[in-house]
A = this chain, B = another copy of it.
Amino acid sequence: MVKLTLPDQWLGEDLPGWEAERKTAADILHRVRGGEPEYAGDLGWFRTRTWAGDDTLERLTALGAEIRSKADVFVLIGVGGSNNAARSVIRALAPQGAEVVYTGNSLSPHALGSLLERLEGRQVYLNCIAKNFETLEPGAAFRVLRLWMERRYGPQEAAWRILCTGTPGSPLEELCTRRGYAFLPFPTDIGGRYSALSNVGLLPMAAAGVDIFRLADGARRMEALLGEAPPEENPALLYAAFRDYLSRRGCRVELLSSFEPRLRWFYKWWEQLFAESEGKDGKGIFPVTGEFSEELHSLGQFIQEGFPMLFETFLDIAQQGPGDSLVIPPDRGTGDGFDYLEGMDLWDIGRTAFAATRRAHGEHLPCAVLEIPRLEEESLGALFYFFQFACYLSCRLAGVNPFDQPGVEAYKRWMFQGLHKP
């Protein structure tokens, strides 16, 4: 379901060169499977059935269907871990449900004002997602939007059109009780960036018309695979060990690349997962992304010949899905120089470009390939679980806490002071 291929060699060293990292990762994995207490309070994502069991999926699917029957637009108020997973799936699969729009993710008055204009004349549902309801962006946007909803629909109808996802007992839950909004729990044992497979990610996906059973199925199968595979065949372990090995040898930037433009928002989820988990104590690998083939024409030169600090992970989609075919037509005698493409499917041209890119980049930097069969719910669910698990192991290997983010408090302290927050 996810197939990892690592390069055989790098800098002339064979795979045994990173035996040590693999052994350490296997030790960690062994302890985690044995139920070691470390980080136990943040491992709610580890068993997907805890927060994405069949009951939850059924309830959210029904809720999503109800929302779709009464809304053209589903407004997701959230930032970072509260919107990245849902947005990546919805933008990748473009399901035929409610249109999902995103706000509370910037401080731009223009962005929020434009959104309000777009909502005029359309039927709206609102979902405010905030684990810690102190974050400025969703807090400000939710205030503006719930007042807009009350003016638009009156307090009673607005109340059932607004749902919140937050920590039980938080000010957000109190607000919901007071105003009569539905309240869904944000798991207390899952941090934002690991919350794809919980109410946080799944409700917006269900409202958009994503089949969340299929998504969860992919994640569950990945959970089983990573839970059972012996260390030497465990792709998440091998990927984490590979990353650790490279980072200790100066590869401090990881480029996640794909030839599929619909993965643009998945990249954002992936960037947060790794940047926020690993980037601490002066450590970490900076995550960047390559939207190929477009960015071969912008970043390609640097990847091929620039300062050597990159390694690349290709996210490869092996098989065509619906709409993934377009044959180059004949246009004889025009002399445009592209007759050699006649009759070829653009899909196959892309496959050739991928193979060529992998080969060319592979001559200058370490390149791994992570292959998924198709761009579909199961694959995205599997990728969520795969990367969360691999990120967790990577952090353990680097010796940093995979679940905190102490550094983001620094600017908030000055900001709250500047805003005279009590």
Contact = CB atoms under 8 A, between A and B. Distances in A.
Nearest to A259: B107
B252 A323 contact: no
A109 B272 CA distance: 29
Q: Which of the listed residues A302, A305, A306, A353 has the most CB atoms from chain B within 10 Å of its own CB?
A: A302
Interface in A322-364: 323-326, 328-329, 331, 334-338, 340-341, 344-347, 349-350, 352-353, 355-357, 359-361, 363
B139 A337 contact: yes
A305 B406 contact: yes
A80 B23 CA distance: 43
A272 B284 contact: no
A275 interface: yes
B331 A143 contact: yes
A422 interface: yes
A280 B305 contact: yes
A346 B301 contact: no
15 contacts: A79-B294, A81-B297, A106-B291, A107-B353, A108-B259, A171-B336, A275-B302, A276-B298, A276-B299, A279-B304, A282-B308, A286-B309, A301-B408, A304-B411, A306-B407
Interface of A: 79-81, 84, 105-114, 133-137, 139-140, 142-144, 146-147, 171-172, 174-175, 178-179, 193, 252-253, 259-262, 268, 271-272, 275-276, 278-286, 288, 291-310, 323-326, 328-329, 331, 334-338, 340-341, 344-347, 349-350, 352-353, 355-357, 359-361, 363, 405-408, 410-415, 417-422
